[in-house]
Every structure is written in structure tokens, then in C-alpha cells.
Chain A
Amino acid sequence: MVTNSILFVQHGQHGQHGQHGQHGQHGQHGQLMAGGRTPPAAAAALTMSHASLTGHWSWDPSYPLPTELSFASADNMQQWSMDTRMLVTVQEIISTLCVTPHHASETPDAQGQTVPTPATVRVLSRLGSGEIVVAQIDRPGMEAFAQQLNYIEYYADQRVERAAEILLQLTDILSSFGAVVPLEPERNRWTHELLLVALQAASLIEMQCKHLLACQRPNVFSAQVHPMIQTPGHGTLPSGHATEAFLVATILRDLVMHAAVRPYLVEQQLLRQATRIAQNRTVAGVHFPVDSAAGATLGISLARYILALAHRPEGTSADHLNVEATGWHCRSDAFGAADFTHETSRGLFDHAPLVAYEGDGTEVEYGTPTTYKLTMSNTGSVLRELYARARAEWATAKTGGTGS
């Protein structure tokens, strides 16, 4: 199966970010799972028991038939195994999206002056009329990346102290979020599945963006970068870790904010942990800070899109839903010599333009919001079912406090 190579189905290994490029390792579809899946070795035993037990074939057409399952119904999701469900849900999401490149050009502005616009990629949705831009990332030039190189040098000071986090986050970012919100694989099994689906979908979009933008990694610029881990075999901008970390943070925030009780400072800590996961990649020597900015905006944008697809507004019985959402346009080429810290990421959960700071305190506007409207069918979405079950896991008994 072609899709074999890109799925996580190891129920006990949530949050495997995956080692892109090692496609043979993903999706050990159909392997032994804890919990007693019939192993291939049982075939001989079952052949024997079939021969001994079943006897003469005596099927009678008048015997009551099993209930027919509904056609094209999201309710059937519980019939399928997790890996199947994930394939279906990821396809639901990805089939609505595409990523388009746009070359650099010069456009006239309001005063008739020609303004150069950088090369850019847009993530577009087909759910609605006109061009629906879910996210956009501009392409920095090589000089812009060179301005950022100094950060690799000076963040390297923290390699020893951040080594444990960096190594953990090579394959696992959910553990880091499990330290911020309560996440337990059995209690939050639908949340885990939702997060894995989102990560899978984002992974496809993020790789497409990386491929189109084709930005060089830091170690191509200078041998003194000397990364402390393997530099992955894909482009540097946007950062995959940043995309995924902010995607997870946004979804968890959504789930937690709808809960009756939220942990104190959860929103701030989700943002900071995502920022740190992204920043750790700069410490490791495999990303520039601007990659984290682009990844953060992409992750948030994709998460908001997925949540827009997944929410079912209360009491709606119409055939179609109209949903409004906001994504980010990341002006990475204008990031300049700014750093990516929790000061930079502060506004990402909101909708006002995003600001970063250069070393001398100069402000740089690196993100502008892009609002869009989606029109989609109200029925048949497995994603919506999944989301509803995930939300239900967060409805705890009311004990007061609405968190922050």
C-alpha cells in the first residue's frame, strides 16, 4: 500500500513526529499491537480449527441478514480501526487543500509605484468561492538568511543544557505538551488520535511548502554551524517542528478552552512550550529563527483550518455550513535580523499583525492575518465525529475557575 509509508499506527507511540526521509519506518500497518490482534502465526491454528469445528456448509438465505451500515456515514467511524480512521480523516482534510507557488514579481501599489513582491507559496482551500488562502509564506532571499546566521552561533551556547529536550523532540513533541496540559493515552485517546491526524495532514502540507520554497539549511552556509544532530533531508523554511508544535498547541488550546476547568496559565504555557520546541532546533543548528516564525504561522493557520472543518456549530441542521476563520501570511523575507522567542510568538493565538524584534530593539512586522470563509457539507465528516469525541474528553466536573 502506498499509504503504508506515511502513517503512524503504533497505538502506544503517540506523537511520533517521524523521521522524514526514512519512509520505510512509518506505518507498521497490521503489526502486532498490545491488546491482542490476531498474529499471522495463528493462520495454521485457525486453519486447523476451521477444519475441525465448522462442519458442513449450511447457509440458508432466509436467515436474518445483518443490519446494513449507513452509506457514507461518519457514524461508521467506530467500526473501523484507528489506522483506517486516520487514513480516512487525513484524506478528508488534505483533499480540500493544495499548495500553489507564485513567483516573485513587481506589483503596482496605490500610488502607482512598483513594489517588488517576493516569491511566495499559498495554501488554498477549495471549500468555497474564490481564492481561499488558509496560509501564506513569503520566501526570504539568501542575504536575509545570512543575517540570521549569527543566531546559530550564539544559541549554540545552550546546546549542552538543551540536549535532553532536543533529543526527546527528535521523535516526540507530545511529551513536552503533556507537561503543560494533562494528557494520558487512555483517558485522552480521541485527543491523541485527533492530534495525530492533524500532524499527518500538516506534514503533507508542510513538505509541499518546503519543497516549493526550497530554502537552504544553515549548515550549507558555514561549516562552523556544526549541527549537533542530523540535518534533515528537506528545506529549512518553514520549520517542521515549529509547524507541528504550534499546530498541537492550537488544537490543545481549543480543547482546553472549551473545558469547564482549565489549568492556570495554560494558554501562555502552551505558546511558550511550542516556542521552545521551535527554538531548540536553532540551538541544535538545523534552523534559522525565521524558519520557526514561518512554521509557527503555518502551524497555527492549519490548526485553525482543521478546527474550522471539525467544529459543528450547535443546533445547525442545514445541509451546508458557513464558517469563518483566520490564517496568517508570514512575511518571512521582511524578518530581517529578528529572533524567535516567546516575545515573537506572543500574538500568534490572536489576530493582530505579528511583531518580532531585532537585536537593537527595532520592531519588524512579520505576520498579517488573512480571513476567509468556508462553505462545506454538514454531514459525513469523520473528522467532526473525531473532534466531538475529543472535546468530550475535556468536559470535566465543574469546580470553578475558568483558567486564563
Chain B
Amino acid sequence: MTLRWDSPVRADGGDNDAQILSPYSDWWLRTQAPSFIQGPTLPFPTPFLTRGPVSIKGGTARPVDRALQTAHPKELAPVRPDSLCVQFKGSPGFTALEPAPRKVIIGIVDDGIAFANARFLKRDNTGRYGTRLSALWNQDAACEAGRETNGYVLPFGRDWVETEINERLFVRRDPVGLPHADTAYRLAEMQSALSRCAQHGTHVMDLATGYDCNDRSVDDFGETPAKMAHLRPIVAVQLARIATRDSSGAFMATYVTHAIEFILARTIHLQPEDSDAPRIPLVLNFSYGIFAGPMNGRDQMEEWIDDAVQTMQDVHSIPVWLTLPAGNSYQSRTRGEQTIGCTRPDRQNPPLLLRRQPEDKAAAIVEFWWPEQETDFIGHNTTAQPDAPSDAPASPLPTALTEETRKHIVEELSTRPSPLRLELRPPNAADWIALDIDGQHSQIDFFHAVPLVQHRGGKDILVGMAYHEVLQSLPRKNVDKADGKRPLTEQFKLTLILAPTLFEQPLETVEFQQEPASVPSGTWEIRLWDTREIEPQKIDVRCQRNDTPFGFRPFGRQCTLVDPNYSEYRPDGRPDDGDVPNAWVLRRGTLNAIGTGTSTIRVGSVRKSALSRRTLASNRIDNGGTSAFSSAGEPLAKSGALRRASVDLAAVTEINHAAPGVLAAGTHSGSVFRFAGTSSAAPQVARWIAAMLANPQLKSRDDLRRLAEISSADYFAASRTPERTGVRVLLGPRAR
């Protein structure tokens, strides 16, 4: 087996006329089998609410400054041909909600949402059970061409509004009047997503907004479930399974932004008809996370979310709150720091080792982030005339990056040489796979990639890619600094993608067949250098998540970074939970990489029994009861951009060492199961936020933190590790 680096290629998925793509999208397109005709793909949704033909009830979409701050390359995802919508009949007709003082819409984006479970029902005044879901979207369902759209045009999948759920999905009822769930799921094409007795989405939704609509007692939040069933309408999206299964997030961003757009649009539709009535806010929970990203709020999806939330507030006066898990990767050994010099080293010091698992059917992705640096604007005309002469005077910085501008900047940057170099050494190999630095690799431009090919059966098979990118960010006026001035910055990024160690066709549809390719499992070694003559740079090394999420059969197995100085266990057998001075693989800075934006609430996890542990020196307990897996952000005290990357609050998702998880609904009504993880912490805080929204003081994330800090409610405990548990720990009524 001979591996070598091939000539650099433009990151356009193999089609030179196409737009430059993100590494994830480019890799996916290039690994398609050439003999198959490619199926449809789905781009990121257009900037929120600027799509012309959609009429949004309650106001027209006014143009606002919602700058896409960073010039990201394009990202796209495959979509099942039968779920793509090609014909629609736009129609009005959506029932607005009645205004009520404590009404809050709960948005859920997840996989495995058992919407017919009794926890999500309410009873009308005749006692008849009905759904609390005002809208449901199954992204995987076949699109019914020509059906009415109830005021919103879906690009794919199928949705139902409340009346449709009650009349067309809850067609069978049992003698008590409860809907027959299996029939409903089959009609909604969710039967295979809900085939297991325990599902992530149901557990999360129950923690966020599950209520027994017959329970008239008062809980710890002062809520009566029977009443709350009428005050918490739900808008839920069953995410496309390919988006969830690929835990690297390669397809997630596209599908999730569409899901969030759906929920936001429905939230607008649901507002009371009387425009003087107070707006009904939205609390949206998205229990998902990845390990690698810019970690400064400028991931493409993070920017989209921040813009969307801002728009909802500015244009529609609707407060939107988003809860996300802080992450479960504290002990995952997927993050480290390395120092990069300006000449090719024999090895990194300490060696940069990557362990690939055998039978890992998902690609391994490692991102290398250089520190942010100031830069001059690229100097070319970047307004709507991209073909203006290059000696035209430099334009002033645009205040908003439209899609066209973004595309143009990326194209311009793709002519700029990258100073970064990456080489690999496969497991047990004596030699490095070297770049031809005097020949074909003497120049590698940004937004180009160096393919790793394996010669087999007389041809070259693509088994890896090293992508070079530079991400430029425009200053944003009202963020970070009071005077609004910030220099133009850029970050260099290398992305190494390696084929699976066991090949299996990942997608069911024949249109997306991939070319079989695999690499050996074991410990790979990487070395990097930066040809600029500058001081050694400290870079962030992050393995992207590539495990198999809950509810899916074995697919990916997480790759990790190897460090002999990483301390796994303390002498007493307890997992170590700090960073030792000479380790390069770290626990700190492992926050969910899509949770560093301005508008998301990040929630960590604690173990209830450990909160009340006596703090005696002989106990040697100093982690404040934090769950071993709960990721760490930056300390809250840090100011500036870093402050974004912090954990806000925590909730209980482990009771004690023998009950590792909190109980919440299984798929079938009446069943419960234990599940731990920050995925179960975020929805508990979502429930609390919804309970607090009657408070008019609550406007920003900082307000929320302050409210939690000063609260004298019984259901709060002190947070002793702010980087991992935020300002306060919630002991919600669901932590049992």
C-alpha cells in the first residue's frame, strides 16, 4: 500500500466551475463514486427572512444589518430525493395562538421525538386529548407535492400543524381517548426513528416541556402541569437522520439551520392576531454538539443563529432563547495545543499523535487553528462589482457581507498562497509521507487542498485531504467592544480528513454511493510547520467528533489524541479532572464548538450526590460535583471575545454513582429511562427559562446569569467550578 500526497486541488468538490466549499462538503462530494449520478444537495438556508416570496404574517421583512461576519466557504448537504420538495402551493391559513400571560413556545430540534407520548398532550374543554405541538416537521418524510403549506414553504420533508396532527395523525384512539402512538408515527413516517424504546429526542423534550396534563399538583417551579399543558405549545423538528448520524456535523449545519428557521417562522405565525398583545417568546433547545470549530462565535451556524435571534428581536419583538449542551468531551482527549515552528521538524515536540480506532466507519477530521491575527483587507473591490479592475481604489469595509460578497472574498483569497504545511506518518511506518516542497507542493493556495492518495488496483484512491483555509472576519459594530471598533481579523485553519478505517456505504440512497476507501487504524503521526519567518505559534489541535450518537447502530468510533503525559486516573482510581503542566492534550477549552455564539445558553452537568459532599481536605474532592464528562469553557471572568466561550449554567443529569442519569420519558407513554449528559442538562434549563420569562428584566444572556446568581429559590445550588458549571446549578423538578 503506497500513500502519497497528490497535487493541490481547489476545494470545489471536483467541479472547477463550482463555488469553493467547506472541507466537509468538499470531502463528501469528492468521495462519491464516479459511476453514480449525484443526487440533490441542499445548501445553507439564505439569510433569515429575506426570501422574497414567503409572506410572513404580522409584518414584512425589512432589510437589517445582519452581517454574515465571516467570509465562510459554501456548505451543503445531501438530501433524499423523495423528501425534496419541488412543487408547492403556497397558502395562508395558520391558527394563531391565544395570548396568555405565561405562554411560551418551546422549540425542539432533535432525533427520535415521540410526539404522541402522553407527556406532550393536553385536554380541551370537552376532555378530549389533543397534541400540544403547534407544528411538527419530519425532515426525512417524503414531500407531498402540491399539498397546502399552511403559510410556510418547506424545502424538503413534510410538516403538520396542530389540527393536522389531531385529525390526520391521531386517527386511532384507545378507549380512554389517548391517541394510538404507533399509528401516528407510521403516518408521520417516523416509525423507524422511533423503533427503539428509548430515544434521545423524547428524553430531551420531556425534560424541557413534558407535563402530565391530568396532574393538578404544584411542582418545585410553582407550576401546575395540567395548566402548563396549555401554556407551552411546542414546535418540534425531527432532524434528518443523516444529519444526526454523522456526528462531525458535516451535514448538521445545513439541516439544523433549516430546522431553526422553520421554528422561528412558525413562532412568528403563532403570535396573537392582535398586534398590541404582548409577544409570545420562544425557548428553543438543541441538544447537540461537536468538538471542533473556531470557538469564538464565528462558526457558520453560530453566526446564522445569532443573526436570526437578533432579527426576531429587532424586527418582530419576539424574544428567542436557545439552550445548548456545554458538551461531554471533557475527558475525550480530543483537544490539545502544539507549538509550530517555521521549519520542517523531525517530529513535533511533543509528538502529535492521532489514534484511529479499528472499525471506524466515519472519516476522522482534525482541525488545526492558528491564532487570530490582524490583517489588511484584501484590497480588492468587494462590492457588487467583483469584476472591477484590480487597481481600483480599495473600497471601505462593507458593513454587511452578502452571499455574493462572501463568495467573492473567498475566491480572492484562494489565489493567496498558504504558508502552512502538514505531513503524515501512518501507523508503524518508518518514514513520513513527505510533501514535494520543491515541486508540486511548492505553492499551496488557500481554499485548496492536498489530496492523500493510495495506489491500489492500478489506480489512485482518495483516502485523505489536507485543506488550507483562511477565514476573514469583518468587524461587527455592536459586539465585543463599546466603541464598536475592531480590526479586520483572519485565522488560518488546516483541516485534515482521513478516510474511515472500515468502509461501509454511509447513506442508504443509491445516489450518494461512495467510492470504497479506507486507511489503517492505529497511531498516526502528524507534523506541521509554518513557512513564515515568525516566532513559533501556539495552535489549537482539535479532533472533530466522530462517534456514533445515541440511537444509531455502530458507525463512527471517536479518534483521539495521544499524550503519554495525559493523566487519566488519580492514584485513588478516580478519573483525574485537571490538566497537568507537561501534557499537550487538554481538558480545558472543550466547550461545545457550536456554543460559542452570543445568544446561546450553554448548560453543563453535575452529579447530585456530589454537590453536598463535605469539603474536607482528606476528601480530596475539589470538582464541585461536576460530572466527569462535562466540558469546560473559558472562565467567566475573562473579558472580551473569550467570554463568549463559557458555560452559563448547569443542571443535574446524574443522581449518584449507581444511578448515572436522570429519568425521563421513553418512547412509549408511561415508560422512563435514565440518560446522562449535557444533552439532558440543557432542556432542564430551557424549562426554567420558560418559567422565568414572565420577568420583564430578562432580556439578555447576562440578565439570565444574574437572575440565576441572585435567585433564592430552593432549586438552585452553588456552582463551584464556573468554567464547567457556570454561575449556578439547577436542581430542577425533573432531576430524579
A156 to B610, CA, bound (A): 11
In the assembled complex, A341 has its CB within 8 A of some CB on chain B:
yes
Report A-chain residues with C-beta under 8 Å of the C-beta of B658.
159-160
A390 to B572, CA, bound (A): 34
In the assembled complex, B571 has its CB within 8 A of some CB on chain A:
yes
In the assembled complex, A151 has its CB within 8 A of some CB on chain B:
yes
A154 to B623, CA, bound (A): 13
Whether B573 contacts A162 by the Cβ 8 Å rule is: yes
Report B-chain residues with C-beta under 8 Å of the C-beta of A148.
618
Knowing A157-B657, A158-B657, the reply to whether A359 touches B617 (Cβ < 8 A) is yes
Whether B618 contacts A358 by the Cβ 8 Å rule is: yes
Whether A154 contacts B573 by the Cβ 8 Å rule is: no
Whether A154 contacts B620 by the Cβ 8 Å rule is: yes
Interface of A: prevailing SS: helix
Report the nearest B residue to A149, measured CB to CB.
B618
**A–B pairs, 18, beta carbons within 8 Å:** A150-B614, A150-B618, A151-B618, A154-B620, A157-B610, A158-B573, A160-B657, A161-B657, A162-B573, A279-B572, A339-B571, A339-B572, A339-B618, A339-B620, A358-B618, A359-B617, A359-B620, A360-B617
A279 to B570, CA, bound (A): 13
Q: A18-59: contact bitstring with B at CB < 8 Å (1 yes, 0 no)? A: 000000000000000000000000000000000000000000
Report B-chain residues with C-beta under 8 Å of the C-beta of A339.
571-572, 618, 620
Report B-chain residues with C-beta under 8 Å of the C-beta of A276.
573
In the assembled complex, A155 has its CB within 8 A of some CB on chain B:
yes
In the assembled complex, B482 has its CB within 8 A of some CB on chain A:
no
Least CB distance from B622 to A in Å reads 10
Whether A154 contacts B617 by the Cβ 8 Å rule is: no
Least CB distance from A176 to B in Å reads 14
B residues in contact (CB < 8 Å) with A: 570-574, 610, 613-614, 616-621, 657-658, 660
A156 to B607, CA, bound (A): 14
Whether A337 contacts B573 by the Cβ 8 Å rule is: no
8 Å CB contact of B571 from A151, A158, A161, A342:
A342
Report A-chain residues with C-beta under 8 Å of the C-beta of B610.
157
Q: Which of A150, A151, A156, A160 has the most CB atoms of chain B within a 10 A radius of its CB?
A: A150
Q: Which of A155, A358, A359 has the most CB atoms of chain B within a 10 A radius of its CB?
A: A359
8 Å CB contact of B657 from A159, A342, A360:
A159
Report A-chain residues with C-beta under 8 Å of the C-beta of B614.
150, 153
Whether A154 contacts B571 by the Cβ 8 Å rule is: no
- Known contacts A153-B613, A359-B620, A360-B617, then 17 further A-B pairs from the complex at CB < 8 Å, ordered by chain A residue: A147-B618, A154-B613, A156-B657, A158-B573, A158-B574, A159-B657, A159-B658, A160-B658, A161-B657, A279-B573, A337-B618, A339-B572, A339-B618, A341-B570, A341-B572, A343-B571, A358-B618
Whether A359 contacts B618 by the Cβ 8 Å rule is: yes
A162 to B569, CA, bound (A): 14
Q: How large is the interface on A (under 10, 10 to 19, 20 to 34, 35 or more residues)?
A: 20 to 34
Report B-chain residues with C-beta under 8 Å of the C-beta of A283.
573
Q: Which of B572, B610, B616, B621 has the most CB atoms of chain A within a 10 A radius of its CB?
A: B572
Report A-chain residues with C-beta under 8 Å of the C-beta of B620.
154, 339, 359
Report B-chain residues with C-beta under 8 Å of the C-beta of A343.
571
Whether B573 contacts A150 by the Cβ 8 Å rule is: no
Report the nearest A residue to B613, measured CB to CB.
A154
Q: Which of B571, B613, B619, B620 has the most CB atoms of chain A within a 10 A radius of its CB?
A: B571
Whether A150 contacts B619 by the Cβ 8 Å rule is: yes
Q: A277-293: contact bitstring with B at CB < 8 Å (1 yes, 0 no)? A: 00100010000000000
Report B-chain residues with C-beta under 8 Å of the C-beta of A150.
614, 616, 618-619
Q: A309-353: contact bitstring with B at CB < 8 Å (1 yes, 0 no)? A: 000000000000000000000000000010101110000000000
The 4 closest A-B pairs by CB, nearest first: A341-B571, A359-B617, A337-B618, A359-B618
A residues in contact (CB < 8 Å) with B: 147-148, 150-151, 153-162, 276, 279, 283, 337, 339, 341-343, 358-360
Report B-chain residues with C-beta under 8 Å of the C-beta of A360.
617
Q: Which of B573, B613, B616 has the most CB atoms of chain A within a 10 A radius of its CB?
A: B573
8 Å CB contact of A155 from B572, B616, B617:
B572
Report the nearest A residue to B656, measured CB to CB.
A157
Whether B619 contacts A359 by the Cβ 8 Å rule is: yes
A58 to B570, CA, bound (A): 77
Least CB distance from A195 to B in Å reads 26
Whether B617 contacts A337 by the Cβ 8 Å rule is: yes
A359 to B617, CA, bound (A): 5
Report the nearest A residue to B658, measured CB to CB.
A160
Report A-chain residues with C-beta under 8 Å of the C-beta of B574.
157-158
Report A-chain residues with C-beta under 8 Å of the C-beta of B571.
339, 341-343
A283 to B573, CA, bound (A): 10
Report A-chain residues with C-beta under 8 Å of the C-beta of B570.
341
Whether A358 contacts B573 by the Cβ 8 Å rule is: no
A343 to B570, CA, bound (A): 10
A147 to B617, CA, bound (A): 11
Least CB distance from B524 to A in Å reads 25
A151 to B619, CA, bound (A): 6
A342 to B616, CA, bound (A): 22
A181 to B54, CA, bound (A): 73
Report the nearest B residue to A345, measured CB to CB.
B571
Report the nearest B residue to A362, measured CB to CB.
B617
A19 to B514, CA, bound (A): 61
Report A-chain residues with C-beta under 8 Å of the C-beta of B621.
154
Report B-chain residues with C-beta under 8 Å of the C-beta of A154.
613, 619-621
A279 to B571, CA, bound (A): 10
A359 to B619, CA, bound (A): 7
Report the nearest B residue to A156, measured CB to CB.
B657
Report the nearest B residue to A341, measured CB to CB.
B571
A283 to B574, CA, bound (A): 11
Least CB distance from A296 to B in Å reads 14
Whether A358 contacts B617 by the Cβ 8 Å rule is: yes
A155 to B620, CA, bound (A): 11
A241 to B505, CA, bound (A): 53
Report B-chain residues with C-beta under 8 Å of the C-beta of A160.
657-658, 660
A143 to B614, CA, bound (A): 18
Least CB distance from B564 to A in Å reads 14
Least CB distance from A255 to B in Å reads 27
Least CB distance from B568 to A in Å reads 13
Least CB distance from A55 to B in Å reads 71
Report B-chain residues with C-beta under 8 Å of the C-beta of A155.
572-573
Report the nearest A residue to B571, measured CB to CB.
A341
A156 to B574, CA, bound (A): 11
Least CB distance from A360 to B in Å reads 4
A51 to B620, CA, bound (A): 77
Least CB distance from A198 to B in Å reads 27
Least CB distance from A344 to B in Å reads 8
Q: Which of A157, A337, A339 has the most CB atoms of chain B within a 10 A radius of its CB?
A: A157
Report A-chain residues with C-beta under 8 Å of the C-beta of B616.
150, 359
Least CB distance from A32 to B in Å reads 41
Least CB distance from A167 to B in Å reads 15
Least CB distance from B618 to A in Å reads 4
Report A-chain residues with C-beta under 8 Å of the C-beta of B619.
150-151, 153-154, 359
A29 to B658, CA, bound (A): 42
A192 to B201, CA, bound (A): 56
A294 to B574, CA, bound (A): 23
A342 to B660, CA, bound (A): 28
Least CB distance from A241 to B in Å reads 16
A151 to B618, CA, bound (A): 7
A390 to B701, CA, bound (A): 71
Least CB distance from A364 to B in Å reads 12
Report the nearest B residue to A163, measured CB to CB.
B658
Report the nearest A residue to B616, measured CB to CB.
A150
Report the nearest A residue to B614, measured CB to CB.
A150
Least CB distance from A81 to B in Å reads 42
Least CB distance from B604 to A in Å reads 19
Report A-chain residues with C-beta under 8 Å of the C-beta of B572.
155, 279, 339, 341
A157 to B571, CA, bound (A): 15
A235 to B85, CA, bound (A): 77
Report B-chain residues with C-beta under 8 Å of the C-beta of A156.
657
Report the nearest B residue to A159, measured CB to CB.
B657
A283 to B660, CA, bound (A): 18
